[in-house]
């Protein structure tokens, strides 16, 4: 569960907040002017997110290859049709 901190508070407590995230596996939601604008997450979470995004990219590529009919156009043809 993430806890919230304002950007102004984060500026004052950056070191402590980073330690909470790095060593306590906390997630910290950062808000500015009452709106959530960012989240600080542990490296493990970021690595999992990157791996998941790569997996989704691979799945999308595999799906696109299934529907590829082999038709190609040159860059010149593409630009001429704009």
- 40 by Cβ neighbours in 10 Å (0-12 / 13-18 / 19+) ranks as buried
DSSP H helix total and E strand total for the chain: 4, 3
Q: What is the domain partition of the chain in residue ranges?
A: 2-66
What is d(CA 31, CA 4) in angstroms, rounded to the nearest whole number? 7
In this prediction, residue 25 carries a pLDDT of 87
CATH topology of domain 2-66: YefM-like fold (3.40.1620)
What is d(CA 56, CA 76) in angstroms, rounded to the nearest whole number? 31
Tokens representing 79? 């630009």
pLDDT greater than 80 at residue 70: yes
In this prediction, residue 81 carries a pLDDT of 82
């Amino acid at each position: 569960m993430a806890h919230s901190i304002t950007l102004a508070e984060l500026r004052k407590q950056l070191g402590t907040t980073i330690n909470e995230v790095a060593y306590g596996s906390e997630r910290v939601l950062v808000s500015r002017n009452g709106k959530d604008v960012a989240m600080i997450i542990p490296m493990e979470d970021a690595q999992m997110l990157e791996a998941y995004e790569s997996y989704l990219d691979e799945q999308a590529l595999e799906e696109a290859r299934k529907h590829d009919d082999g038709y190609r156009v040159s860059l010149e043809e593409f630009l001429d049709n704009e």
